[in-house]
Amino acid sequence: MSKIILITGASRGIGAATARLAAQRGYDVAINYASNREAAEAVAADVRKAGRRAVTIQADIGKPGDIARLFTTVDKELGRLDAFFNNAGIVEKASRFVDIPPDRLQRIIAVNTTGAFIAAQEAVRRMSTRLGGNGGVLVNMSSMAAKLGGSGESTDYATAKGAIDTLTIGLAQEVASEGIRVNAVRPGFIYTDMHASGGDPDRVDRLSPFVPMKRGGQPEEVARAILWLLSDQASFSTGTFIDVTGGR
Protein backbone atom coordinates (compact mmCIF):
# COMPACT_ATOMS: atom_id res chain seq x y z
CA MET A 1 0.00 0.00 0.00
CA SER A 2 1.41 3.36 -1.03
CA LYS A 3 2.12 6.15 1.42
CA ILE A 4 0.49 9.57 1.22
CA ILE A 5 2.39 12.86 1.41
CA LEU A 6 1.15 16.44 1.45
CA ILE A 7 3.53 19.15 0.23
CA THR A 8 2.64 22.79 0.70
CA GLY A 9 3.97 25.22 -1.89
CA ALA A 10 4.48 22.35 -4.32
CA SER A 11 3.86 24.10 -7.63
CA ARG A 12 7.47 25.29 -8.04
CA GLY A 13 11.04 25.04 -6.82
CA ILE A 14 11.96 22.66 -4.03
CA GLY A 15 8.33 21.72 -3.37
CA ALA A 16 7.78 20.63 -6.97
CA ALA A 17 11.07 18.72 -7.08
CA THR A 18 10.13 16.94 -3.86
CA ALA A 19 6.70 16.02 -5.21
CA ARG A 20 8.23 14.46 -8.32
CA LEU A 21 10.86 12.53 -6.35
CA ALA A 22 8.29 11.39 -3.77
CA ALA A 23 6.21 9.90 -6.58
CA GLN A 24 9.26 8.04 -7.87
CA ARG A 25 9.77 6.68 -4.36
CA GLY A 26 6.18 5.38 -4.18
CA TYR A 27 4.18 8.18 -2.56
CA ASP A 28 0.77 9.43 -3.59
CA VAL A 29 1.09 13.21 -3.53
CA ALA A 30 -1.19 16.06 -2.47
CA ILE A 31 0.10 19.20 -4.19
CA ASN A 32 -0.80 22.49 -2.51
CA TYR A 33 -0.45 25.77 -4.39
CA ALA A 34 -1.34 29.38 -3.66
CA SER A 35 -2.27 30.75 -7.09
CA ASN A 36 -0.55 29.02 -10.04
CA ARG A 37 -2.92 26.19 -10.83
CA GLU A 38 -1.30 25.46 -14.20
CA ALA A 39 2.09 24.87 -12.59
CA ALA A 40 0.54 22.65 -9.91
CA GLU A 41 -1.27 20.57 -12.54
CA ALA A 42 2.00 20.11 -14.42
CA VAL A 43 3.58 18.67 -11.26
CA ALA A 44 0.52 16.45 -10.75
CA ALA A 45 0.86 15.16 -14.32
CA ASP A 46 4.45 14.13 -13.60
CA VAL A 47 3.33 12.36 -10.41
CA ARG A 48 0.74 10.41 -12.38
CA LYS A 49 3.30 9.52 -15.05
CA ALA A 50 5.27 7.88 -12.24
CA GLY A 51 2.22 5.73 -11.53
CA ARG A 52 1.07 7.45 -8.36
CA ARG A 53 -2.11 9.31 -7.42
CA ALA A 54 -2.03 13.11 -7.32
CA VAL A 55 -4.42 15.85 -6.25
CA THR A 56 -3.93 19.61 -6.50
CA ILE A 57 -5.44 21.85 -3.83
CA GLN A 58 -5.44 25.64 -3.76
CA ALA A 59 -4.91 27.08 -0.28
CA ASP A 60 -3.22 30.18 1.12
CA ILE A 61 -1.01 29.02 3.97
CA GLY A 62 -1.29 32.52 5.43
CA LYS A 63 -4.98 31.84 6.17
CA PRO A 64 -5.89 29.34 8.93
CA GLY A 65 -9.24 28.54 7.30
CA ASP A 66 -7.50 27.59 4.07
CA ILE A 67 -5.11 25.32 5.98
CA ALA A 68 -7.98 23.46 7.63
CA ARG A 69 -9.71 23.02 4.25
CA LEU A 70 -6.46 21.80 2.69
CA PHE A 71 -6.06 18.98 5.18
CA THR A 72 -9.70 17.88 5.11
CA THR A 73 -9.52 17.78 1.30
CA VAL A 74 -6.48 15.51 1.49
CA ASP A 75 -8.39 13.26 3.91
CA LYS A 76 -11.26 12.96 1.44
CA GLU A 77 -9.25 12.68 -1.79
CA LEU A 78 -6.28 10.50 -0.80
CA GLY A 79 -6.69 9.30 2.80
CA ARG A 80 -4.78 9.71 6.04
CA LEU A 81 -1.34 11.31 5.80
CA ASP A 82 1.88 9.40 6.32
CA ALA A 83 4.21 12.31 5.57
CA PHE A 84 4.11 16.10 5.45
CA PHE A 85 6.61 18.48 3.87
CA ASN A 86 5.88 21.84 5.51
CA ASN A 87 7.36 23.84 2.67
CA ALA A 88 5.28 26.88 1.67
CA GLY A 89 7.05 30.18 2.11
CA ILE A 90 7.34 33.70 0.77
CA VAL A 91 10.09 36.30 0.62
CA GLU A 92 9.97 40.00 -0.24
CA LYS A 93 12.46 42.25 -2.03
CA ALA A 94 15.76 42.93 -0.33
CA SER A 95 15.44 45.63 2.30
CA ARG A 96 17.39 47.04 5.18
CA PHE A 97 16.02 46.19 8.62
CA VAL A 98 14.76 49.71 9.46
CA ASP A 99 12.90 49.95 6.14
CA ILE A 100 10.75 46.82 6.60
CA PRO A 101 7.15 48.01 7.18
CA PRO A 102 4.83 46.28 9.67
CA ASP A 103 2.48 44.94 6.99
CA ARG A 104 5.37 43.23 5.18
CA LEU A 105 6.61 41.70 8.45
CA GLN A 106 3.10 40.46 9.22
CA ARG A 107 2.77 38.82 5.78
CA ILE A 108 6.14 37.09 6.13
CA ILE A 109 5.30 35.77 9.60
CA ALA A 110 1.74 34.79 8.60
CA VAL A 111 2.94 32.35 5.93
CA ASN A 112 6.44 31.31 6.98
CA THR A 113 5.83 30.94 10.70
CA THR A 114 2.17 31.03 11.77
CA GLY A 115 0.96 29.12 8.71
CA ALA A 116 3.68 26.49 9.06
CA PHE A 117 2.86 26.12 12.79
CA ILE A 118 -0.86 25.63 12.14
CA ALA A 119 -0.20 23.23 9.26
CA ALA A 120 2.07 21.17 11.51
CA GLN A 121 -0.74 21.03 14.09
CA GLU A 122 -3.10 19.63 11.46
CA ALA A 123 -0.56 17.01 10.43
CA VAL A 124 0.12 15.94 14.02
CA ARG A 125 -3.60 15.58 14.72
CA ARG A 126 -3.76 13.01 11.93
CA MET A 127 -0.50 11.17 12.62
CA SER A 128 -0.23 10.99 16.41
CA THR A 129 -0.69 7.52 17.90
CA ARG A 130 -1.93 9.26 21.05
CA LEU A 131 -4.79 10.67 18.97
CA GLY A 132 -5.55 7.45 17.11
CA GLY A 133 -3.17 7.86 14.18
CA ASN A 134 -0.55 5.51 12.79
CA GLY A 135 2.48 7.75 13.22
CA GLY A 136 4.23 9.67 10.49
CA VAL A 137 7.01 12.02 9.49
CA LEU A 138 7.20 15.80 9.19
CA VAL A 139 9.92 17.75 7.41
CA ASN A 140 9.95 21.51 7.91
CA MET A 141 11.44 23.94 5.42
CA SER A 142 13.93 26.16 7.18
CA SER A 143 16.74 28.14 5.55
CA MET A 144 20.37 29.00 6.13
CA ALA A 145 18.99 32.49 6.70
CA ALA A 146 17.88 31.18 10.12
CA LYS A 147 21.56 30.76 11.05
CA LEU A 148 23.05 33.67 9.10
CA GLY A 149 20.39 36.30 9.86
CA GLY A 150 19.53 37.72 6.45
CA SER A 151 21.48 40.89 7.19
CA GLY A 152 20.85 43.77 4.81
CA GLU A 153 18.34 41.81 2.75
CA SER A 154 15.67 39.86 4.60
CA THR A 155 15.94 39.88 8.39
CA ASP A 156 12.15 39.39 8.46
CA TYR A 157 12.41 36.13 6.48
CA ALA A 158 15.40 35.00 8.56
CA THR A 159 13.48 35.70 11.77
CA ALA A 160 10.53 33.68 10.49
CA LYS A 161 12.79 30.76 9.61
CA GLY A 162 14.57 30.95 12.96
CA ALA A 163 11.17 30.25 14.49
CA ILE A 164 10.88 27.17 12.26
CA ASP A 165 14.14 25.84 13.70
CA THR A 166 12.74 26.26 17.21
CA LEU A 167 9.45 24.65 16.20
CA THR A 168 11.30 21.68 14.74
CA ILE A 169 13.21 21.02 17.96
CA GLY A 170 10.28 21.53 20.32
CA LEU A 171 7.74 19.59 18.30
CA ALA A 172 10.14 16.72 17.68
CA GLN A 173 10.64 16.25 21.41
CA GLU A 174 6.92 16.51 22.16
CA VAL A 175 5.69 13.95 19.63
CA ALA A 176 8.61 11.51 19.55
CA SER A 177 6.67 9.11 21.78
CA GLU A 178 3.58 9.47 19.56
CA GLY A 179 5.13 7.83 16.50
CA ILE A 180 6.08 11.06 14.74
CA ARG A 181 9.53 12.18 13.62
CA VAL A 182 10.10 15.90 12.94
CA ASN A 183 13.17 17.23 11.12
CA ALA A 184 14.08 20.13 8.86
CA VAL A 185 16.23 21.07 5.90
CA ARG A 186 18.14 24.35 5.61
CA PRO A 187 18.84 25.12 1.95
CA GLY A 188 21.43 27.67 0.92
CA PHE A 189 21.62 29.30 -2.51
CA ILE A 190 19.30 27.15 -4.65
CA TYR A 191 18.13 27.86 -8.19
CA THR A 192 14.40 28.52 -7.62
CA ASP A 193 11.82 31.13 -8.61
CA MET A 194 11.83 32.52 -5.07
CA HIS A 195 14.79 34.77 -5.86
CA ALA A 196 12.85 36.40 -8.69
CA SER A 197 9.92 36.86 -6.33
CA GLY A 198 12.33 38.72 -4.08
CA GLY A 199 13.35 40.99 -6.94
CA ASP A 200 16.79 39.40 -7.53
CA PRO A 201 16.52 36.64 -10.18
CA ASP A 202 20.30 36.43 -10.61
CA ARG A 203 21.03 36.19 -6.89
CA VAL A 204 22.37 32.62 -6.93
CA ASP A 205 24.81 33.27 -9.77
CA ARG A 206 25.93 36.52 -8.15
CA LEU A 207 26.62 34.94 -4.76
CA SER A 208 27.80 31.44 -5.74
CA PRO A 209 31.51 32.50 -5.67
CA PHE A 210 31.08 32.82 -1.89
CA VAL A 211 29.96 29.18 -1.61
CA PRO A 212 32.85 26.77 -0.87
CA MET A 213 31.68 24.49 -3.69
CA LYS A 214 31.57 27.55 -6.00
CA ARG A 215 28.07 26.91 -7.32
CA GLY A 216 24.41 27.15 -6.47
CA GLY A 217 22.32 24.10 -5.70
CA GLN A 218 19.49 22.50 -7.64
CA PRO A 219 16.03 21.86 -6.15
CA GLU A 220 16.52 18.13 -6.73
CA GLU A 221 19.55 18.15 -4.44
CA VAL A 222 17.40 19.46 -1.60
CA ALA A 223 14.59 17.05 -2.47
CA ARG A 224 16.92 14.08 -2.01
CA ALA A 225 17.71 15.21 1.54
CA ILE A 226 14.00 15.60 2.27
CA LEU A 227 13.16 12.13 0.97
CA TRP A 228 15.93 10.66 3.10
CA LEU A 229 14.49 12.31 6.21
CA LEU A 230 11.06 10.96 5.28
CA SER A 231 12.37 7.45 4.75
CA ASP A 232 12.93 4.57 7.16
CA GLN A 233 16.66 5.08 6.62
CA ALA A 234 16.28 8.08 8.96
CA SER A 235 14.31 6.08 11.53
CA PHE A 236 16.37 7.28 14.52
CA SER A 237 16.63 10.91 13.40
CA THR A 238 14.29 13.48 14.90
CA GLY A 239 14.73 17.10 15.93
CA THR A 240 17.65 17.44 13.54
CA PHE A 241 18.63 19.46 10.46
CA ILE A 242 20.29 18.84 7.12
CA ASP A 243 22.05 21.89 5.68
CA VAL A 244 22.05 21.71 1.88
CA THR A 245 24.36 24.61 1.22
CA GLY A 246 27.51 23.57 -0.66
CA GLY A 247 29.46 24.14 2.55
CA ARG A 248 28.29 27.69 3.23
What are the residue numbers of the active site? 157
138 contact partners, CB below 8 Å, separation of at least 6: 83, 84, 86, 120, 123, 124, 127, 171, 180, 181, 182, 183
From residue 203, alpha-carbon distances to 5, 28, 92, 155, 189 in Å are 31, 34, 13, 17, 8
User: β-pairing, 27-33 with 3-7?
Assistant: parallel
Handedness of CA 90, 20, 140, 14 (dihedral sign): negative
Residue type, 233: Q
Angle at 84 between CA 79 and CA 8, to 5 degrees: 100
Q: What is the dihedral of CA 116, 117, 119, 124, to 10 degrees?
A: 140
CA dihedral (72, 75, 81, 83) positive or negative:
negative
Q: What are phi and psi of 56, to 5 degrees?
A: -105, 135
Name the CA radius of gyration of the chain, rounded.
17
CA distance 20 to 220: 9
